[in-house]
Structure 1
């Protein structure tokens, strides 16, 4: 089984990816892991990626796509199948992935898309607060400090402020929608309701995967 998992920040993609990998024995392929492995193994593309990263520059698509192809060509992919996480990030990368999979004789069986209303994600992601003295982390809605706490005793990181979260969600929606449209045209997308208990999300994921197998 070869799968791609997608979802906006805060949708629980990482949690569900870990459960899928454990349950189905898939090779978990994330861009961060691939880059670290390619650099550690000093592959030609890994060293090239490192040169860009050391210079504080973005790694070009052709290098990223090449590193992904190198990873997909490894023996464990044929044995286990894979769950691709965090790639592709652009429509151009999706087209490159299509070509690389075709070159390797690998079929993509499905795209799991964990859906949550962005307004709910905004609440989820922008609710984190940190106690100024202790550094302890809380959430205004899901894990508030005990009693009637004084908001002046807490602060938010810039990344957690509602305006920053809203921008991040907008960017991810704009990037992700063309990719989803691309895979919907191939009839590969399985939409999963993410605004429910973690175990219920996972049950829906398993049902979607079973439907792909049949």
Structure 2
């Protein structure tokens, strides 16, 4: 008998994690959209930035992470993937995510081609939302506002912000080419956040109706 699955089942036929990726430069609103989408019962949002920040800084692992993020650098690939896998296991043990019923919404991972290659064996990427924002000044304004709101001092420095934006264009944006172009759905992220959410939800509805996601 041919196995069946619901539209947002997490594990596909090869045992991969059913996943939707959020791509976009810092300040494009990935975290905002991911947080809202994560409230849906069949979606589980994981922000790698949040995962890193919640690791105790006094520990060895936290100190290692802080040495990179505090100056706007990316955490090394192997360490990033290891932390992600550990986080997934914790969520499963706590039953905050059910592998046979839910889909991951990943924000901040993968950040480069090496990470995409390492995760390819475990992630079944069914859609990529590219939150495109051409207004760099708007992105920087959003980052400063978030830094004040969340007391994230690492986002206050223009030098650190510009370094993050440069890293995104040089590494993360290029990661999109690792995936088939038909998976990438571009959304204008310079518009109001509620309109970005509307565009994402409309696309998700189309995918569900087509039996893709």
Structure 1 stretches of 4+ with a deviation exceeding 4 A read: 126-130, 157-161, 163-167
The correspondence of residues 2-151 of structure 1 with structure 2, limited to 5 A, is 2-23=19-40, 25-35=42-52, 49-50=61-62, 52-53=64-65, 56=67, 60-72=76-88, 74=92, 76-78=97-99, 79-101=101-123, 107-117=124-134, 120-126=135-141
- Between Structure 1 and Structure 2, the one with more helix by share is 1
> Gaps (5+ residues) in structure 1?
41-46, 102-106, 131-136, 138-156
1:174 aligns with 2:188: no
Aligned length: 172
**Structure 2: how far apart are the matches of 1:129 and 1:196?**
18
**Aligned mates of 1:25, 1:110 — CA distance in 2:** 15
Match of 1:151 in 2: none
CA gap 1:24/1:116 in 2 versus in 1, 3 angstroms = farther
TM-score, L = length of structure 2 = 0.65
- In structure 2, list runs of 5 or more residues that go unmatched: 1-7, 9-18, 69-73, 149-153
Tell me, yes or no, if the aligned pair for 1:21 and 1:28 is still in contact at 8 Å: yes
What corresponds to 2:4 in structure 1? none
TM-score (normalizing by structure 1): 0.65
Q: Which has the higher contact order (CA 8 A, sep 6+)?
A: 2
Measured after TM superposition, the shift of residue 64 of structure 1 is: 2.0
Alignment RMSD (CA, Å): 3.4
Distance in 2 (alpha carbons) for counterparts of 1:27 and 1:129: 27
